[in-house]
Amino acid sequence: MSRATTEQPSGDTLEADVVVVGAGPAGSSAAWTLARSGIDVAVLDKAEFPREKVCGDGLTPRGVKALGDLGVDTSGWVRHRGLRVHGGGQVVEVDWPRLSHWPAYSLVRRRSDLDATLAAHAAAAGARLHTGVTVTDPLLDDAGRVSGVRAVAGPDSRPVTWRARLVVSAEGLSGRLAKSLGLVRREDRPLGVAVRRYVRTPRTADDYLDISFDLSTEGPTAASMPGYGWIFGMGDGTANVGFGLLDTRRSSGEDPRGTLRRWLTTLPADWQLTEENAVTPLRGAGLPMALHRQPAYSRGLLLAGDAAGAVNPLNGEGISYAMETGRMAAETAADALDRREGLAREAVLRRYPARLRTEYGHHHRLGIGLLALLRNPAIVRFATAHGLQRPALVSAALRLMGNLTDGRDGDAVDRAMSVLTRLIPAV
Ligand SMILES: Cc1cc2nc3c(=O)[nH]c(=O)nc-3n(C[C@H](O)[C@H](O)[C@H](O)COP(=O)(O)OP(=O)(O)OC[C@H]3O[C@@H](n4cnc5c(N)ncnc54)[C@H](O)[C@@H]3O)c2cc1C
Protein backbone atom coordinates (compact mmCIF):
# COMPACT_ATOMS: atom_id res chain seq x y z
CA MET A 1 0.00 0.00 0.00
CA SER A 2 1.19 3.49 -0.73
CA ARG A 3 2.06 5.60 2.28
CA ALA A 4 1.89 9.33 2.81
CA THR A 5 5.23 11.09 2.53
CA THR A 6 6.24 13.66 5.08
CA GLU A 7 7.78 17.02 4.31
CA GLN A 8 8.77 19.03 7.38
CA PRO A 9 8.35 22.81 7.12
CA SER A 10 11.57 24.72 7.59
CA GLY A 11 11.86 28.32 8.73
CA ASP A 12 9.19 30.28 10.53
CA THR A 13 7.05 31.59 7.69
CA LEU A 14 5.97 29.52 4.70
CA GLU A 15 3.63 30.24 1.83
CA ALA A 16 1.16 28.49 -0.44
CA ASP A 17 -1.68 29.69 -2.65
CA VAL A 18 -4.07 27.56 -0.61
CA VAL A 19 -3.53 25.95 2.78
CA VAL A 20 -5.76 22.97 3.57
CA VAL A 21 -5.99 22.11 7.26
CA GLY A 22 -6.53 18.37 7.84
CA ALA A 23 -5.63 15.44 5.59
CA GLY A 24 -8.70 13.29 6.20
CA PRO A 25 -10.97 12.46 3.24
CA ALA A 26 -12.14 16.09 2.95
CA GLY A 27 -8.68 17.65 3.10
CA SER A 28 -6.94 15.15 0.84
CA SER A 29 -9.71 15.41 -1.75
CA ALA A 30 -9.47 19.21 -1.64
CA ALA A 31 -5.67 19.08 -1.89
CA TRP A 32 -5.75 16.59 -4.79
CA THR A 33 -8.27 18.72 -6.71
CA LEU A 34 -6.27 21.92 -6.17
CA ALA A 35 -2.98 20.29 -7.10
CA ARG A 36 -4.54 18.89 -10.28
CA SER A 37 -5.67 22.41 -11.16
CA GLY A 38 -2.04 23.50 -10.97
CA ILE A 39 -2.48 25.42 -7.74
CA ASP A 40 0.26 25.49 -5.13
CA VAL A 41 -1.40 23.79 -2.15
CA ALA A 42 -0.05 22.82 1.26
CA VAL A 43 -2.02 20.34 3.35
CA LEU A 44 -1.25 20.31 7.07
CA ASP A 45 -2.19 17.56 9.52
CA LYS A 46 -1.37 17.24 13.18
CA ALA A 47 -1.06 13.46 12.86
CA GLU A 48 1.58 11.26 11.25
CA PHE A 49 0.11 8.80 8.72
CA PRO A 50 -1.04 6.10 8.97
CA ARG A 51 -3.15 7.20 11.92
CA GLU A 52 -6.30 5.81 13.45
CA LYS A 53 -9.67 7.49 12.88
CA VAL A 54 -12.66 6.22 14.84
CA CYS A 55 -15.07 5.15 12.08
CA GLY A 56 -17.22 2.28 10.81
CA ASP A 57 -14.90 2.07 7.75
CA GLY A 58 -17.90 1.66 5.42
CA LEU A 59 -17.86 3.23 1.96
CA THR A 60 -21.35 3.11 0.45
CA PRO A 61 -21.74 3.24 -3.35
CA ARG A 62 -21.63 7.01 -2.92
CA GLY A 63 -18.20 6.70 -1.28
CA VAL A 64 -17.05 4.27 -3.98
CA LYS A 65 -17.99 6.83 -6.62
CA ALA A 66 -16.17 9.62 -4.79
CA LEU A 67 -13.01 7.47 -4.71
CA GLY A 68 -13.41 6.69 -8.41
CA ASP A 69 -13.79 10.39 -9.20
CA LEU A 70 -10.43 10.97 -7.48
CA GLY A 71 -8.86 8.16 -9.50
CA VAL A 72 -8.04 6.06 -6.43
CA ASP A 73 -7.29 2.42 -7.25
CA THR A 74 -9.53 0.26 -5.03
CA SER A 75 -8.79 -3.09 -6.62
CA GLY A 76 -8.36 -5.74 -3.93
CA TRP A 77 -10.38 -3.82 -1.34
CA VAL A 78 -13.13 -5.75 0.49
CA ARG A 79 -16.46 -5.37 -1.34
CA HIS A 80 -20.07 -5.99 -0.30
CA ARG A 81 -23.09 -6.40 -2.56
CA GLY A 82 -25.69 -5.04 -0.15
CA LEU A 83 -27.09 -4.77 3.33
CA ARG A 84 -28.60 -7.38 5.63
CA VAL A 85 -31.15 -5.48 7.67
CA HIS A 86 -32.32 -6.77 11.06
CA GLY A 87 -35.45 -5.26 12.61
CA GLY A 88 -38.60 -6.30 14.46
CA GLY A 89 -37.15 -9.80 14.81
CA GLN A 90 -36.89 -10.16 11.02
CA VAL A 91 -33.94 -10.20 8.64
CA VAL A 92 -33.90 -9.11 5.00
CA GLU A 93 -31.01 -8.98 2.51
CA VAL A 94 -31.09 -6.06 0.10
CA ASP A 95 -28.63 -5.58 -2.74
CA TRP A 96 -27.33 -2.09 -3.49
CA PRO A 97 -29.49 -0.66 -6.27
CA ARG A 98 -28.43 -0.92 -9.90
CA LEU A 99 -28.26 2.71 -10.92
CA SER A 100 -26.51 4.48 -13.75
CA HIS A 101 -24.95 7.22 -11.58
CA TRP A 102 -23.68 5.00 -8.75
CA PRO A 103 -21.77 1.72 -8.48
CA ALA A 104 -23.75 -1.30 -7.23
CA TYR A 105 -21.29 -2.26 -4.46
CA SER A 106 -19.81 -0.91 -1.27
CA LEU A 107 -16.32 -1.19 0.18
CA VAL A 108 -14.79 -1.38 3.62
CA ARG A 109 -11.32 -0.08 4.33
CA ARG A 110 -9.69 0.65 7.66
CA ARG A 111 -9.46 4.39 8.00
CA SER A 112 -5.78 4.10 8.89
CA ASP A 113 -5.26 2.71 5.35
CA LEU A 114 -7.89 4.77 3.53
CA ASP A 115 -6.67 8.11 4.86
CA ALA A 116 -2.98 7.31 4.32
CA THR A 117 -3.83 6.29 0.75
CA LEU A 118 -5.77 9.51 0.12
CA ALA A 119 -3.03 11.70 1.62
CA ALA A 120 -0.41 9.95 -0.52
CA HIS A 121 -2.67 10.33 -3.56
CA ALA A 122 -2.89 14.10 -2.98
CA ALA A 123 0.88 14.31 -2.49
CA ALA A 124 1.46 12.33 -5.70
CA ALA A 125 -0.69 14.89 -7.56
CA GLY A 126 1.63 17.67 -6.30
CA ALA A 127 0.13 18.78 -2.97
CA ARG A 128 2.76 19.56 -0.32
CA LEU A 129 1.86 17.35 2.64
CA HIS A 130 3.13 18.40 6.07
CA THR A 131 2.35 16.04 8.93
CA GLY A 132 2.96 16.60 12.63
CA VAL A 133 1.72 20.19 12.20
CA THR A 134 -1.04 21.32 14.54
CA VAL A 135 -2.86 24.43 13.39
CA THR A 136 -3.70 26.65 16.33
CA ASP A 137 -5.26 29.84 14.91
CA PRO A 138 -6.18 31.62 11.71
CA LEU A 139 -3.83 34.38 10.65
CA LEU A 140 -5.91 37.51 10.05
CA ASP A 141 -5.00 40.56 7.98
CA ASP A 142 -5.90 44.12 8.95
CA ALA A 143 -9.37 43.73 7.43
CA GLY A 144 -10.04 40.63 9.55
CA ARG A 145 -9.72 38.31 6.58
CA VAL A 146 -7.99 34.93 6.89
CA SER A 147 -4.55 35.20 5.29
CA GLY A 148 -3.06 31.94 6.55
CA VAL A 149 -2.73 29.93 9.72
CA ARG A 150 -0.53 29.71 12.79
CA ALA A 151 0.68 26.28 13.76
CA VAL A 152 3.14 24.35 15.88
CA ALA A 153 5.26 21.74 14.14
CA GLY A 154 7.35 18.75 15.09
CA PRO A 155 8.14 17.13 18.43
CA ASP A 156 9.47 20.42 19.82
CA SER A 157 6.24 22.30 18.88
CA ARG A 158 8.14 24.87 16.85
CA PRO A 159 5.89 27.83 15.92
CA VAL A 160 5.25 28.11 12.18
CA THR A 161 3.23 30.58 10.20
CA TRP A 162 1.68 29.68 6.86
CA ARG A 163 0.55 32.51 4.59
CA ALA A 164 -2.06 31.71 1.95
CA ARG A 165 -4.53 33.43 -0.33
CA LEU A 166 -7.26 31.03 0.81
CA VAL A 167 -7.59 28.47 3.59
CA VAL A 168 -9.75 25.31 3.53
CA SER A 169 -10.71 23.98 6.95
CA ALA A 170 -11.02 20.19 6.69
CA GLU A 171 -10.01 19.56 10.27
CA GLY A 172 -13.01 17.42 11.23
CA LEU A 173 -15.51 17.84 14.01
CA SER A 174 -13.46 20.25 16.15
CA GLY A 175 -13.79 23.05 13.59
CA ARG A 176 -11.26 25.14 15.48
CA LEU A 177 -10.64 27.65 12.67
CA ALA A 178 -14.35 28.13 11.99
CA LYS A 179 -15.01 28.69 15.68
CA SER A 180 -12.36 31.36 15.87
CA LEU A 181 -14.23 33.26 13.12
CA GLY A 182 -17.42 32.97 15.16
CA LEU A 183 -18.95 30.22 13.00
CA VAL A 184 -20.62 28.22 15.74
CA ARG A 185 -22.68 25.06 15.45
CA ARG A 186 -26.37 25.47 14.64
CA GLU A 187 -28.34 23.96 17.49
CA ASP A 188 -31.35 23.27 15.23
CA ARG A 189 -29.36 20.63 13.32
CA PRO A 190 -29.01 17.04 14.55
CA LEU A 191 -25.73 15.92 16.06
CA GLY A 192 -25.13 12.19 16.14
CA VAL A 193 -22.68 10.12 18.09
CA ALA A 194 -21.18 6.73 17.23
CA VAL A 195 -18.95 4.16 18.90
CA ARG A 196 -17.03 1.25 17.43
CA ARG A 197 -14.40 -1.41 18.00
CA TYR A 198 -12.79 -4.24 16.07
CA VAL A 199 -13.70 -7.76 17.19
CA ARG A 200 -12.24 -11.09 16.07
CA THR A 201 -15.14 -13.07 14.61
CA PRO A 202 -16.02 -15.79 12.07
CA ARG A 203 -18.33 -13.16 10.44
CA THR A 204 -15.38 -11.42 8.86
CA ALA A 205 -16.05 -12.31 5.21
CA ASP A 206 -19.58 -11.82 4.02
CA ASP A 207 -21.29 -10.45 0.92
CA TYR A 208 -23.53 -8.26 3.04
CA LEU A 209 -23.02 -5.57 5.66
CA ASP A 210 -25.21 -6.21 8.72
CA ILE A 211 -27.21 -3.36 10.20
CA SER A 212 -29.71 -3.76 13.00
CA PHE A 213 -32.54 -1.69 14.38
CA ASP A 214 -33.20 -4.33 17.06
CA LEU A 215 -31.07 -2.58 19.61
CA SER A 216 -33.11 -2.54 22.68
CA THR A 217 -35.92 -4.30 24.40
CA GLU A 218 -35.99 -2.28 27.55
CA GLY A 219 -37.85 0.86 28.58
CA PRO A 220 -40.66 2.80 26.92
CA THR A 221 -38.37 5.06 24.86
CA ALA A 222 -35.89 2.40 23.82
CA ALA A 223 -37.66 1.32 20.64
CA SER A 224 -37.75 4.88 19.34
CA MET A 225 -33.99 5.32 19.36
CA PRO A 226 -33.00 6.87 16.01
CA GLY A 227 -29.94 4.77 15.34
CA TYR A 228 -28.61 1.40 14.33
CA GLY A 229 -25.96 -1.12 15.15
CA TRP A 230 -23.57 -2.46 12.53
CA ILE A 231 -21.28 -5.41 11.90
CA PHE A 232 -19.01 -4.76 8.93
CA GLY A 233 -16.82 -7.75 8.04
CA MET A 234 -13.29 -6.47 7.38
CA GLY A 235 -12.15 -9.66 5.63
CA ASP A 236 -9.07 -9.95 7.88
CA GLY A 237 -10.49 -12.08 10.69
CA THR A 238 -12.19 -9.11 12.33
CA ALA A 239 -15.36 -7.08 12.00
CA ASN A 240 -15.89 -3.40 12.70
CA VAL A 241 -18.74 -3.48 15.19
CA GLY A 242 -20.49 -0.32 16.26
CA PHE A 243 -23.55 1.68 17.12
CA GLY A 244 -24.56 5.09 15.80
CA LEU A 245 -27.18 7.32 17.39
CA LEU A 246 -28.30 9.71 14.67
CA ASP A 247 -29.74 12.43 16.88
CA THR A 248 -28.51 12.93 20.42
CA ARG A 249 -31.49 15.24 21.09
CA ARG A 250 -33.76 12.22 20.71
CA SER A 251 -31.80 9.61 22.62
CA SER A 252 -33.19 7.37 25.34
CA GLY A 253 -30.51 8.81 27.60
CA GLU A 254 -28.44 5.64 27.55
CA ASP A 255 -24.71 5.85 26.94
CA PRO A 256 -24.07 4.61 23.34
CA ARG A 257 -21.32 2.35 24.68
CA GLY A 258 -23.88 0.67 26.92
CA THR A 259 -26.29 0.29 23.98
CA LEU A 260 -23.63 -1.37 21.85
CA ARG A 261 -22.46 -3.71 24.61
CA ARG A 262 -26.01 -4.76 25.44
CA TRP A 263 -26.93 -5.30 21.77
CA LEU A 264 -23.87 -7.50 21.23
CA THR A 265 -25.00 -9.79 24.05
CA THR A 266 -28.27 -10.42 22.17
CA LEU A 267 -26.50 -11.75 19.03
CA PRO A 268 -25.97 -15.47 18.32
CA ALA A 269 -23.12 -16.97 20.39
CA ASP A 270 -21.40 -18.44 17.29
CA TRP A 271 -20.78 -14.90 15.97
CA GLN A 272 -18.36 -14.64 18.92
CA LEU A 273 -18.78 -10.89 19.28
CA THR A 274 -17.74 -11.01 22.90
CA GLU A 275 -15.68 -8.71 25.09
CA GLU A 276 -12.85 -11.30 25.11
CA ASN A 277 -12.63 -11.24 21.29
CA ALA A 278 -12.38 -7.44 21.09
CA VAL A 279 -9.03 -6.41 19.60
CA THR A 280 -9.34 -2.65 20.18
CA PRO A 281 -10.94 -0.49 22.87
CA LEU A 282 -14.44 0.84 22.31
CA ARG A 283 -14.04 4.39 21.01
CA GLY A 284 -16.52 7.01 19.87
CA ALA A 285 -16.92 10.44 18.30
CA GLY A 286 -19.58 12.89 17.19
CA LEU A 287 -21.35 12.94 13.81
CA PRO A 288 -21.89 16.59 12.74
CA MET A 289 -24.88 16.64 10.40
CA ALA A 290 -26.96 18.59 7.90
CA LEU A 291 -24.39 21.36 7.34
CA HIS A 292 -24.54 22.41 10.94
CA ARG A 293 -21.81 25.04 10.74
CA GLN A 294 -22.74 27.97 8.52
CA PRO A 295 -21.93 29.78 6.42
CA ALA A 296 -19.46 27.34 4.89
CA TYR A 297 -17.48 30.30 3.57
CA SER A 298 -16.41 33.35 5.52
CA ARG A 299 -13.56 35.88 5.09
CA GLY A 300 -11.15 33.68 3.14
CA LEU A 301 -12.01 30.41 4.92
CA LEU A 302 -13.92 27.53 3.26
CA LEU A 303 -15.27 24.63 5.33
CA ALA A 304 -15.41 21.02 4.08
CA GLY A 305 -16.35 17.61 5.50
CA ASP A 306 -17.10 17.28 9.21
CA ALA A 307 -15.83 20.84 9.76
CA ALA A 308 -18.88 21.95 7.74
CA GLY A 309 -21.10 19.29 9.36
CA ALA A 310 -21.55 17.41 6.09
CA VAL A 311 -22.66 14.03 7.55
CA ASN A 312 -25.91 12.61 6.12
CA PRO A 313 -28.53 12.82 8.93
CA LEU A 314 -30.38 9.78 7.59
CA ASN A 315 -27.57 7.23 7.88
CA GLY A 316 -24.57 8.86 9.59
CA GLU A 317 -22.38 8.50 6.49
CA GLY A 318 -19.65 11.12 6.29
CA ILE A 319 -16.70 9.88 4.21
CA SER A 320 -18.32 10.37 0.81
CA TYR A 321 -19.67 13.79 1.78
CA ALA A 322 -16.24 14.78 3.10
CA MET A 323 -14.71 13.86 -0.28
CA GLU A 324 -17.48 15.60 -2.23
CA THR A 325 -17.37 18.83 -0.19
CA GLY A 326 -13.56 18.78 -0.25
CA ARG A 327 -13.71 18.75 -4.04
CA MET A 328 -16.38 21.43 -4.19
CA ALA A 329 -14.41 23.69 -1.83
CA ALA A 330 -11.32 23.16 -3.99
CA GLU A 331 -13.18 23.88 -7.24
CA THR A 332 -14.56 27.06 -5.69
CA ALA A 333 -11.08 28.10 -4.52
CA ALA A 334 -9.56 27.39 -7.94
CA ASP A 335 -12.29 29.36 -9.68
CA ALA A 336 -11.89 32.25 -7.23
CA LEU A 337 -8.11 32.41 -7.62
CA ASP A 338 -8.62 32.73 -11.37
CA ARG A 339 -10.40 36.05 -10.77
CA ARG A 340 -8.93 39.40 -9.93
CA GLU A 341 -8.52 39.91 -6.17
CA GLY A 342 -11.44 41.86 -4.73
CA LEU A 343 -15.16 41.79 -5.43
CA ALA A 344 -15.08 39.34 -8.37
CA ARG A 345 -13.14 36.78 -6.37
CA GLU A 346 -15.28 37.28 -3.28
CA ALA A 347 -18.48 36.78 -5.30
CA VAL A 348 -17.29 33.32 -6.40
CA LEU A 349 -16.36 32.34 -2.85
CA ARG A 350 -19.68 33.48 -1.45
CA ARG A 351 -21.51 31.13 -3.81
CA TYR A 352 -19.98 28.07 -2.09
CA PRO A 353 -22.55 27.81 0.77
CA ALA A 354 -25.36 28.08 -1.80
CA ARG A 355 -23.77 25.27 -3.83
CA LEU A 356 -23.74 23.01 -0.77
CA ARG A 357 -27.34 23.92 0.00
CA THR A 358 -28.43 23.14 -3.57
CA GLU A 359 -26.59 19.83 -3.47
CA TYR A 360 -27.78 18.61 -0.06
CA GLY A 361 -30.38 20.97 1.42
CA HIS A 362 -33.48 19.09 0.28
CA HIS A 363 -32.14 15.75 1.47
CA HIS A 364 -31.14 17.26 4.80
CA ARG A 365 -34.62 18.69 5.31
CA LEU A 366 -36.04 15.25 4.66
CA GLY A 367 -33.55 13.72 7.10
CA ILE A 368 -34.37 16.20 9.85
CA GLY A 369 -38.10 15.53 9.33
CA LEU A 370 -37.71 11.75 9.42
CA LEU A 371 -35.54 11.90 12.53
CA ALA A 372 -38.33 13.87 14.21
CA LEU A 373 -40.82 11.12 13.25
CA LEU A 374 -38.60 8.50 14.87
CA ARG A 375 -39.32 10.21 18.18
CA ASN A 376 -42.64 8.39 18.11
CA PRO A 377 -42.13 4.78 19.33
CA ALA A 378 -45.37 3.61 17.69
CA ILE A 379 -44.14 4.72 14.25
CA VAL A 380 -40.80 2.99 14.72
CA ARG A 381 -42.44 -0.24 15.88
CA PHE A 382 -44.88 -0.16 12.96
CA ALA A 383 -42.12 0.56 10.40
CA THR A 384 -39.82 -2.23 11.56
CA ALA A 385 -42.59 -4.80 12.06
CA HIS A 386 -44.38 -4.19 8.73
CA GLY A 387 -41.77 -2.50 6.53
CA LEU A 388 -39.25 -5.34 6.71
CA GLN A 389 -41.82 -7.77 5.33
CA ARG A 390 -41.58 -5.88 2.03
CA PRO A 391 -38.03 -6.07 0.62
CA ALA A 392 -38.89 -3.62 -2.20
CA LEU A 393 -39.89 -1.08 0.43
CA VAL A 394 -36.69 -1.70 2.41
CA SER A 395 -34.67 -1.23 -0.76
CA ALA A 396 -36.44 2.06 -1.56
CA ALA A 397 -35.97 3.26 2.04
CA LEU A 398 -32.24 2.45 1.93
CA ARG A 399 -31.88 4.33 -1.35
CA LEU A 400 -33.55 7.32 0.22
CA MET A 401 -31.45 7.13 3.38
CA GLY A 402 -28.27 6.67 1.38
CA ASN A 403 -29.12 9.51 -1.01
CA LEU A 404 -28.59 7.14 -3.96
CA THR A 405 -30.73 8.09 -6.91
CA ASP A 406 -30.49 8.71 -10.63
CA GLY A 407 -32.96 11.56 -10.12
CA ARG A 408 -35.47 12.29 -12.82
CA ASP A 409 -33.56 10.04 -15.28
CA GLY A 410 -34.19 7.02 -13.09
CA ASP A 411 -36.87 4.42 -12.39
CA ALA A 412 -40.19 4.91 -10.58
CA VAL A 413 -38.51 4.88 -7.13
CA ASP A 414 -36.04 7.52 -8.29
CA ARG A 415 -38.75 9.71 -9.75
CA ALA A 416 -40.80 9.44 -6.54
CA MET A 417 -37.70 10.32 -4.48
CA SER A 418 -36.95 13.22 -6.78
CA VAL A 419 -40.46 14.63 -6.37
CA LEU A 420 -40.39 14.08 -2.61
CA THR A 421 -37.05 15.77 -2.07
CA ARG A 422 -37.91 18.66 -4.43
CA LEU A 423 -41.21 19.28 -2.64
CA ILE A 424 -39.38 19.70 0.63
CA PRO A 425 -37.68 23.08 1.00
CA ALA A 426 -33.89 23.01 1.42
CA VAL A 427 -32.46 23.88 4.83
C1 LIG B 1 -17.83 5.69 15.21
C2 LIG B 1 -18.00 6.35 13.85
C3 LIG B 1 -18.32 5.55 12.77
C4 LIG B 1 -18.46 6.12 11.50
N5 LIG B 1 -18.69 5.29 10.45
C6 LIG B 1 -18.74 5.79 9.20
C7 LIG B 1 -18.86 4.92 8.09
O8 LIG B 1 -18.87 3.69 8.23
N9 LIG B 1 -18.94 5.47 6.85
C10 LIG B 1 -18.89 6.82 6.67
O11 LIG B 1 -19.01 7.26 5.51
N12 LIG B 1 -18.74 7.67 7.70
C13 LIG B 1 -18.64 7.20 8.97
N14 LIG B 1 -18.42 8.05 10.02
C15 LIG B 1 -18.24 9.49 9.77
C16 LIG B 1 -16.83 9.77 9.21
O17 LIG B 1 -15.87 9.16 10.04
C18 LIG B 1 -16.55 11.29 9.10
O19 LIG B 1 -17.67 11.94 8.57
C20 LIG B 1 -15.32 11.55 8.22
O21 LIG B 1 -14.15 11.07 8.85
C22 LIG B 1 -15.15 13.06 7.95
O23 LIG B 1 -13.95 13.27 7.24
P24 LIG B 1 -13.15 14.67 7.36
O25 LIG B 1 -12.04 14.61 6.38
O26 LIG B 1 -14.11 15.80 7.30
O27 LIG B 1 -12.58 14.69 8.85
P28 LIG B 1 -11.59 13.69 9.58
O29 LIG B 1 -11.65 12.36 8.98
O30 LIG B 1 -11.90 13.83 11.03
O31 LIG B 1 -10.14 14.28 9.31
C32 LIG B 1 -9.71 15.48 9.92
C33 LIG B 1 -8.20 15.55 9.87
O34 LIG B 1 -7.80 16.83 10.39
C35 LIG B 1 -6.70 16.68 11.26
N36 LIG B 1 -6.75 17.80 12.21
C37 LIG B 1 -7.69 18.06 13.14
N38 LIG B 1 -7.41 19.18 13.80
C39 LIG B 1 -6.24 19.65 13.29
C40 LIG B 1 -5.43 20.79 13.56
N41 LIG B 1 -5.76 21.68 14.52
N42 LIG B 1 -4.30 20.96 12.85
C43 LIG B 1 -3.94 20.07 11.89
N44 LIG B 1 -4.69 18.97 11.59
C45 LIG B 1 -5.83 18.78 12.26
C46 LIG B 1 -6.92 15.31 11.91
O47 LIG B 1 -5.69 14.75 12.38
C48 LIG B 1 -7.52 14.51 10.75
O49 LIG B 1 -6.53 13.83 10.00
C50 LIG B 1 -18.29 7.53 11.32
C51 LIG B 1 -17.99 8.32 12.41
C52 LIG B 1 -17.84 7.75 13.67
C53 LIG B 1 -17.49 8.63 14.85
53 CA closest ligand 1 atom index: 29
**CA 306 to ligand 1 centroid distance, Å:** 7
Q: What distances in angstroms separate CA 233 from CA 106, 170, 251, 323, one per listed residue?
A: 12, 29, 27, 23
- The answer to whether residue 10 scores a pLDDT higher than 60 is no
Q: Is pLDDT above 90 for 308?
A: yes
| Cis peptide leading into residue 220 (ω within 30°) | no
The pTM for the full model equals: 0.95
pLDDT for 217 equals: 53
Residue with CA closest to ligand 1 atom 18: 318
Whole-angstrom Cα distance, residue 84 to residue 93?
4
Q: C-alpha distances in angstroms, 399 versus 53, 67, 81, 98, 104?
A: 27, 19, 14, 11, 12
The alpha carbon of 23 and the centre of ligand 1 are apart by a number of angstroms equal to 9
CA 366 to centroid of ligand 1, rounded, Å? 24
What residues line ligand 1, using a CB cutoff of 6 Å?
A: 21-27, 44-47, 53-58, 63, 134-135, 170-172, 174, 176, 194-196, 242, 284-285, 287, 305-307, 311, 317-320, 322
**What radius of gyration do the chain's Cα atoms show?**
21
Task: Choose the most confident range, by mean pLDDT, from 186-190, 197-201, 376-380.
Answer: 197-201
Atom of ligand 1 nearest to the CA of 25: 25
Q: How far is the CA of 170 from the centre of ligand 1 (A)?
A: 9
| Distance separating the N- and C-terminal Cα atoms of the chain | 41
Residue 11 has pLDDT above 80, yes or no: no
**pLDDT score of 4:** 43
Task: Report helix angle 352-373 to 319-337, nearest 10.
Answer: 160
**Mean pLDDT of the 252-267 span:** 90
How many Å apart are CA 184 and CA 331, to the nearest integer?
25
Return the pLDDT at 285: 97
Apex 34 CA angle, 33 and 38, nearest 5: 115
Confidence of residue 2 (pLDDT cuts 50, 70, 90): very low
Please compute the mean of the pLDDT values over residues 198-213 and round it to a whole number.
96
- Closest Cα to atom 30, ligand 1: which residue? 172
- Phi/psi of residue 68, each to 5°? -60, -40
pLDDT range class, residue 384, cuts 50, 70, 90: confident
Q: Which residue has the higher pLDDT, 396 or 333?
A: 333
Answer whether residue 222 shows pLDDT above 80. Answer: no
How confident is the model over 9-37, as a mean pLDDT?
A: 93
Instruction: Using the mean position of ligand 1's atoms as its centre, give its distance from the Cα of residue 197 in Å.
Output: 16
pLDDT digits over 101-153, tens only? Answer: 999 999 999 999 999 999 999 999 999 999 999 999 999 999 999 999 999 99
CB contact at 8 A, 396 and 404:
no
Worst-scoring range by mean pLDDT, 182-196, 267-281, 402-416?
Answer: 402-416
Interval between CA 420 and ligand 1 midpoint (Å): 30
